[in-house]
Chains A and B, each alone.
Chain A
Amino acid sequence: MDTDELPVVLPSTTTTSGLTIALHPLPILNISEHFTRLKLQKRQSLPFVLGALLGTQTGREVEIVNTFELAVQDDQVTVDQEFFDARRDQYKQVFPSLEFIGWYTVAAYPTAKHIAFHEQFATLIPTPLLLLLKPSSSFAASADLVVQTLPFKAYEPTIEIRDRKARSVFIEAGYTVETGEAERIAVDWTARGGSGGTSLESHLSSQRAAVKMLHDRILLLVKYVTEILAGEAKKDHATLRSLSALIASLPASEHKGFREEFEKEYEDVQLTAFLSSLTKSTNILNDLVDKHIVFTAQREERGPGAGRRRGPRGMMDFH
């Protein structure tokens, strides 16, 4: 039986990947830019996109941090090894902690063609991950926030033994989105269009948006629990256990040491505010004194006798 006819992805009910994958926003945007650029240059709606993933892998934890594009040779199947080596070394010079951990492309689901590429990458590292961007002209504009997921899927390669033959297959792996602080601010800023200064309003509105998301998620959980109590939904013990663990861990900070630290930080910040207003008042005072000098000096010019008496005294009597 030809491997082409068998599905290349193992169904996720039988096997699950043991990897914990953390995906950063930068690779997501890089891949999107690569795809858009090729779409425009080649004027195709689904050009062939290929690139490498850079990141770190410690045991079963993988973090995908950056990407770069790859070239294929004219037969459209073999990766341009020279270019790959050169590019990878260059990225090593600038980001020594990142390594080649996988590759990406744009497709709806993995096919035999991807297995061919996988074989090539497998010569470099044992288990190169595959990240797929699903091209679809209309992303689900669903109001249900659970359905709105990123159109990316991560796959871990593995070997399947079937009919005494071993072949490479992919298993879908879940991923979470992690960001560094600078990354988050940059992504947030560009998402909002690069507007706004350090205004209180923009800061508060981003906090509010985050809190609203938390609130929506909590509402969903509450709805689920009420449905279970009403007997409508099926009890999922794993979820219920994690829910009760979550509630047990609240309140998060009654610990005395934490409270002290928190209060201290609060006081420090309020002290800075106080000092800043003090400085401001000093400046205003200085301005006022300067103006007063000008004022009395002018009065001196007009009435020397009266002014001389009043001038210096006027300043000391200043309350």
Chain B
Amino acid sequence: MASTAFKTFSLANNVVEVSPQDDIYKFDVDADKRINREQPWTKDPHYFKTCKISATALIKMVIHARSGVPYEIMGLMQGKVMGTSLVIIDSFALPVQGTETRVNAANEAYEYMVQYIEGSKLVNRLENAVGWYHSHPGYGCWLSGIDVTTQFTNQKFQDPFVAVVIDPNRTISAGKVDIGAFRTYPENYTPPDAAASEYQSIPLSKIEDFGVHANQYYPLEVQIFKSSLDNELLGLLWNKYWINTLSQSALISNRAYAVSQLNDLQQKLAKAQSSVSSTRAPIPLPKDDIKSKMLKEEKKKEEANQLAKSVKDGAKIATEAQHGLIAQVLKDILFSSRPGAPTSSSVSVEEVVDTAMSIG
């Protein structure tokens, strides 16, 4: 509970509404040259802490990612460095379909990239390329082995560079954008014990790849910013597209993804079935004992508990389905009930909301 509250608090503070002058959009050529000369990030592998993404860049990336499902797509991002954060002002798509087996897919699009960036200068887009993005349709935001290798190379030759991953399927089923920004550690650098990262459900087929490389990179905090004009337009836009909120149904549009999630969960449960007999309860310790060492061991045992993880996955699937259902039931009540007649349908919103609350 406390972790959720903390998460909400820290997420709620991630919005940095740009000052009235929309300063962040200004590109100061001299400051940029200076910071590229100094390169403070070479001294500290943990230098970059946040990744600020502009509204337009984000929306373009999400649309591109969704349009490419079921393939992984990739693209470049243009921006600059501001303090300890990498600011991304714009993004553009690359005509390459990434697959997990090609390390340097970027090489094919090299000509495209160079042409695009050169052309950008003509239209006052002066920022340099500071990162690349690609999509993981349906299997979460993390870096695979190939991604880690690619990012290693990027950080060696094109620093400052950041890797952004988007999952368009999760975005639609969860109703919020699933995005992550990462930087790799230099080789032979062991990070100090990373804080237990937030659990995310990874499909069985990818879980090995995820685990092996999980310690070679760290996530940056993602913040979204928009200009004051963007703000006003978004407010006005709501007047127009509220209809789509009601008319679209997450249940229907994400059916294939939901089915694959259930399949995956079933496989995980089958695995859990075999391992559940070997689970051990954590032994309660007196307070004076060396807590930290014991806690770590307990954590490892917890992580090995397949059943517990499956429970979390199951809860997530069920909650998202409930959300979709709430929308459907609402629409049913709004548009299908005749005034005066008793609601013939056996469904009611309160029931569904109660179920949703009891799961999560």
Contacts and interface: CB of A to CB of B under 8 A. Distances in A.
B335 A279 contact: no
A191 B235 contact: yes
B174 interface: yes
B234 A210 contact: no
B355 A252 contact: no
Given A184-B248, A253-B332, A195 B11 contact: yes
Interface string A1-45: 000000000000000000000000110111011011110110000
Main secondary structure of the interface of B (DSSP, over half): helix
A93 interface: yes
Q: Top 5 closest A-B pairs, CB basis?
A: A193-B15, A182-B66, A290-B281, A177-B240, A276-B318
Given A26-B60, A29-B230, A32-B230, A185 B176 contact: yes
A197 B122 contact: no
Interface string B9-40: 00110110100011101110000000000000
Given A179-B244, A187-B234, A266-B325, A90 B115 contact: yes
B230 A69 contact: no
A204 interface: yes
Given A182-B65, A206-B245, A272 B321 contact: yes
A286 interface: yes
A178 to B, nearest CB: 8
Interface of A: 25-26, 28-30, 32-33, 35-38, 40-41, 69-71, 80, 83, 86-87, 90, 93-95, 139, 145, 148-151, 176-191, 193-200, 202-204, 206-207, 209-211, 213-214, 250-254, 259, 262, 265-266, 268-270, 272-273, 275-277, 279-280, 282-283, 286-287, 290-291, 293-294
Given A186-B177, A199-B8, A276 B55 contact: no
Interface residues of B, number: 117
A91 to B, nearest CB: 8
Contact of A148 (B56, B65, B236): B236
Interface stretch (B99-107, B148-156, B211-219, B309-317): B309-317
A25 B230 contact: no
B334 A211 contact: yes
A194 B14 contact: yes
Nearest to A201: B8
B22 A40 contact: yes
Contact of A185 (B171, B320, B359): B171
Nearest to A145: B239
